[in-house]
Amino acid sequence: MADSQNKSITSLDRARGSVLGLVAADALGSTVEFTSPEQIKQKFGPAGQTEMRGGGLLNWAVGDYTDDSQMMLCLLESLVETNRETFTGLDVADLGRRFVAWYDSHPPDIGLTVSNALARLKSGTPAAFSGDANPESQANGAVMRCAPVGVLWHRPAQRFELVRDSLLSAAPTHRSPVAAGACMVVNVMIAELISGQTLETALAQARAAANPEWQKVLDEWNAAGRPHRGNSGWALSTVLTALHCIITTSTFEEAVIKAVNGGDDADTVGAVTGEIAGALYGYSAIPARWLKVLKDREKFIELATELFGIGENNPVAS
Ligand SMILES: [Mg+2]
């Protein structure tokens, strides 16, 4: 069972943990994306994939991260750069421009939903409307990158802004209640954990803030005994499996290893597990042997630290 509350971890360490936890888990999962749990065991032995090895179907370098962290970096840099001088929250047009620049760099790993939406954005649809609003469009490409909004709006008095910007951060690529609502659920958890709340309180607060679609999903998952829901590319299963992996383990390392060894969309299930578990256990709990080789580690730490500071000091709400 996950550690419920450890008062010795600072809010800043938890904020850094959410951002770096996402990146580290994404990099760890890149090795086993698109493979089955059985294939992972065959290749790496009974303990499975536990080290930064790179490789995988897309032949990543050791410590490199995939589209999950690349898009998260767009959101992180957008929030820092647009709020450094004048505090306004998320500027979705700025975020959209960064997503298009990333799309134009021809990233090797890009989901279909994201690719279609960014093509619409590039051809002139405003960023707030370029995501697919079809209720059946439920992929996990927005929730995999949402953590910076939770870091910025971590203070309890800023719940309105947290929910607003969580949905808005999804909008350029995902506008369905399930896909965008997933960002709200995960970011409320991240904000609660950064504030030092227990995992159970964070979950209860996320359920309370969630839209009806997500309240139903969480209630059914709770009633079913909080099971693993597989590692598919859907937002529902991704978030529930991430929560299962955190609740059934006791450390950041165990949670993330359990998540990526489900294979399939391993990097993204890892990323979502990492962004929540990182806020629970803090940056200091991420294994040093992973951080040592993690690409752009210092850049992510600096940006996460600055964003957390903007959230702490902003004049919008007390
Ligand atoms: Mg990926």
- pLDDT tens digits, one per residue of 251-287: 999 999 999 999 999 999 999 999 999 999 999 999 9
Say what the pLDDT of residue 167 is: 98
The pLDDT, as a whole number, for residue 157 is: 87
Residue 2 belongs to a domain: no
| pLDDT of 24 higher than 90 | yes
**pLDDT tens digits, one per residue of 1-21:** 565 556 789 999 999 999 999
Residue 4 maps to a domain: no
Q: Answer whether residue 278 is part of any domain.
A: yes
Residue 1 resides in a domain: no
Q: Please give the distance, rounded to the nearest whole angstrom, from the Cα atom of residue 102 to the centre of ligand 1.
A: 14
CA of 108 to the centre of ligand 1 (A): 9
Q: How far is the CA of 168 from the centre of ligand 1 (A)?
A: 21
Q: Is residue 318 part of a domain?
A: no
Domain interval for residue 25? 11-313
pLDDT beyond 70 at 318: no
Q: Please count the structural domains in the chain.
A: 1
pLDDT, one tens digit per residue, over 151-183 is 999 999 899 999 999 999 999 999 999 999 999
Q: Amino acid identity of 290?
A: W
Measuring CA to CA, which residue among 93, 201, 90, 94 is closest to residue 146? 90
> For residue 219, is it within any domain?
yes
Gap between the terminal Cα atoms of the chain: 34
Its pTM stands at 0.97
Q: Residue 207 C-alpha to ligand 1 middle, in angstroms?
A: 27
Give residue-wise pLDDT tens across range 186-230.
Answer: 999 999 999 999 999 999 999 999 999 999 999 999 999 999 999
For position 226, which CATH number holds?
1.10.4080.10
Per DSSP, helices labelled H in 172-250 are 177-194, 199-209, 212-223, 235-247
Mean pLDDT across 130-137:
96
Measured CA angle at 258 (ends 195, 2), to 5 deg: 35
Residue 188 within any structural domain of the chain? yes
> Does the residue 225 lie in any domain?
yes
